[in-house]
Structure 1
Amino acid sequence: MTSQTPTFPFKTEAYIARSGATSHPALEPVTYNSLKPDEVLVSIAAVSICHTDIRAIHGDFRTELPMIPGHEGSGTVLATGSQVTYVEPGDAVVLAYSSCGSCRRCIMGKNAFCDGLVEMNFAGSGEGVVKDEQGSSVKGSFFGQSSMSRVALVHESSCVKVDVKDRRELELCASLGCGIMTGAGSIFNIAKPPPSSKIVIFGAGAVGLSALLAAKLTTPSTLILIDNSPTKLSKIHPSLLQNVHVLDTSSHKTPTETATAIRALTPNNTGVDYALECIGVESCLLAAHASLDTLGTLITIGSSATAKMPFGLASHLIRGITVGGTHQGDSVSRVMVPEMISLWKRGLFPFDMMIERFGFGELGRALGEMHEGRVVKPLLVV
């Protein structure tokens, strides 16, 4: 610790999700009592909103309330704990999920499946560390960061050093820490489609559109985007949809109808080689499975507390279908985030066209716009 290190207790302001709340979380004063040896104090530049945050706010993501949400942040390092070696004060960082770095999966480069994943990312911490205005404990380590705060206590492993030219770029890059990384990683790290592949993507949110941008870089012969919200589809920047078949399924009554429409967009109605389901809805899973060509691959990306695999084994087996799931697009954040930034700077991954900026105090408005399908990726700028 240096003489410039902020002193503790450290007071700031953060959004706190509380049990039984009838509205969105409110900004409240919070106090960090200490900086652990493996923690970093980060001045937040921006935090983007993911559907996972919404689930966590409602206590539906293995989280206990009260808690500070936020798991897609960016900012500048203010101070580091005594054991931190990766970053130092002044570094620009994007914040992603946390991992231990030493278990067998982390050593294999499978950090997204770390043995300590649940404890480090979903359970949260903060007992005796984060206090609200009344002095009560608040959970404060969601995805190792709880970044819906003006200043956040962050686990070192959640930090990704980035090379950005100014604060605006740093703000935009906040959105790369989870959903966008998951969508892009599902193509780059899992599907790895060869040229001329036929690909369908279910869901025109940030995850699906990021998968779409990544898929474009693999030169597919057929690329299809599906959503049942005409409003959401109409808000997508036209340049992102060049050479893409857009299928509005709002009038479809059955998964079979959707699968038939997908097959009709492929040569000889053979179906697609890869289907990415980014929603976590059983009817979409069924349609995705039915739309596959023989030896096709279904990748499940979206999550739901209740959705199950709905297809029968007979059809599955005789077509040689492969089904795989993913967390974070199987991405190692310190590899994937800089790669996405590099692609963006070269004009190959225009994720910024999904972003809508809001003031940091406008969480309620951002959530409303997101719920109505008018915004793909809200960004709260501090």
Structure 2
Amino acid sequence: MPTTTTEAYIARPPSSSLNLEPVTYPDLAPHELLVDILAASVCHSDVRAAQGTFHMKPPLILGHEGAGYVREIGSAVTYVKPGDAVVLAFASCGECRRCETGREPYCERLVELNFSGRRGDGTQPVRDARGEGVNGLFFGQSSMSRVALVRERSCVKLEGEVGREELRKFASLGCGVQTGAGAILNIAKPPPGSHIAIFGAGAVGLPALMAARPSQPASLVLIDNSATKLSMIPQTLLTNVHTLDSASLSPDELVAKLKSFTPDSRGMDFALDCVGHEAVTQAAYWCLDKLGTVLTVGGSATATPRVSTQRNLVCGLTIRGTHQGDSVPRVMIPELIRRWREGRFPFELLLTEFKFEELGQAMEEMAAGRVIKPLLVV
């Protein structure tokens, strides 16, 4: 197969400038393929990667939530064929002790396959217009490209008839949406009558909210410190949901307010920190009832929340982290699409479309809190 030249968004140091630049992919490795991208959504991890504060460092091609049609496949690819509609998610090896037991988010080779920017032989598979190497395969895909170079294990093949407009929307399912929803569906699994607090009214917290609503919770509370973000949420998502602006509340006041939504102020059964801020994790912990669970869904390298081992012991509390909501993409993404088709998971309400050439504007709108989930349409 000949080399392929296309355009992709490259983040470069030191200013973290983002430009749509020509890039060239060499011959495909055995387990790689090319995907004609229809759409790629923007996640906060893309922003952090562009700033050089994520696992993979610039220069790199951004994008880890994409969808499109398979163009070409490597010699050992068996899962898809040219023309297949695919949604792209993180990569895993499929062979280690974690993958073999359905724990793909904890793959032994996760860092190498998603954040090294290189092939297994250590080479960079992408060249810019000057012929210099650029990190690619971000989350196994680097999907902010008109044609993306993708690891086979990053693909979720969609069966049956899928329209182009639908497939564009599905681009947003590959990371943040499946993370939030998975935290509820795969881990919390709240029984009817549960009391649930979700911290963070963004592209992770709102999918968690959507997944939690059908479980018929006794109380479901969405917390954010931005009144603007709370006001942006479509009202159809807030039926039987309490919203709480925490901006003016002290930590003790926030915990007391959350407990007040439960009988006798006993506390929450489940509290999801979809932000990753130290104070948020602590509030999630201290608002729990006995046998309650904190799920840390967002993350920060510097957060060290204060917890009490004595309280853990006496109250039987669980503190549980999760990567990707413990989701296996080839299971979770079709499940979310099925729920969406049934009208039970209206994730499209979170999306705002931008032209592919408008990444800068999309990032500005997201940073300003004026959109929840930008979608770049090619």
The alignment's TM-score, normalised by the length of structure 1, stands at 0.96
Contact 2:269–2:293, Cα closer than 8 Å, also in 1:
yes
Q: Per-residue displacement from partner, 1:209-252 (whole Å, max 9, x unpaired)?
A: 00000001211111000000111111110000111000011111
Contact 2:7–2:145, Cα closer than 8 Å, also in 1:
yes
Q: How does 1:29-108 map to 2 (within 5 A)?
A: 29-108=22-101
1:361 paired residue number: 357
Question: Structure 1 residue 339 and structure 2 residue 335: aligned?
Answer: yes
Q: Per-residue displacement from partner, 1:284-310 (whole Å, max 9, x unpaired)?
A: 111111110011000000011211132
Q: Per-residue displacement from partner, 1:261-318 (whole Å, max 9, x unpaired)?
A: 1011111111110000000011111111111001100000001121113223233322
1:10 paired residue number: 4
2:325 paired residue number: 329
| Deviates further, 53-62 or 175-184 | 53-62
In 2, Cα distance between equivalents of 1:343 and 1:51: 25
CA RMSD across the alignment:
1.1
User: CA distance change for structure 1 residues 137 and 349 in 2, over 3 Å: closer, same or farther?
Assistant: same
1:247 paired residue number: 244
Question: Structure 1 residue 178 and structure 2 residue 175: aligned?
Answer: yes
1:131 paired residue number: 127
Q: Which amino acid aligns with 2:56?
A: T
Length, aligned pairs only: 374
Question: Structure 1 residue 113 and structure 2 residue 106: aligned?
Answer: yes
In 1, Cα distance between equivalents of 2:203 and 2:26: 36
Contact 1:286–1:311, Cα closer than 8 Å, also in 2:
yes
2:193 paired residue number: 196
Contact 2:16–2:50, Cα closer than 8 Å, also in 1:
no
In 1, Cα distance between equivalents of 2:116 and 2:248: 40
2:310 paired residue number: 314
In 1, Cα distance between equivalents of 2:162 and 2:359: 27
Deviation at 1:58, TM superposition (A): 1.2
Matched residue SS, 1:217: helix
Identity between Structure 1 and Structure 2 (%): 56
Contact 2:32–2:149, Cα closer than 8 Å, also in 1:
yes
1:301 paired residue number: 297
Contact 1:33–1:128, Cα closer than 8 Å, also in 2:
no
Q: Which amino acid aligns with 2:195?
A: K
Deviation at 1:207, TM superposition (A): 0.6
In 2, Cα distance between equivalents of 1:376 and 1:64: 25
Question: Structure 1 residue 222 and structure 2 residue 216: aligned?
Answer: no
Contact 1:74–1:170, Cα closer than 8 Å, also in 2:
yes
2:207 aligned to which of 185, 188, 210? 210
Question: Structure 1 residue 162 and structure 2 residue 158: aligned?
Answer: yes
Tell me, which stretches of 5 or more residues in structure 1 are unaligned? 1-6
In 1, Cα distance between equivalents of 2:45 and 2:332: 20
Contact 2:118–2:124, Cα closer than 8 Å, also in 1:
no
Contact 1:8–1:32, Cα closer than 8 Å, also in 2:
no
Tell me, which stretches of 5 or more residues in structure 2 are unaligned? none
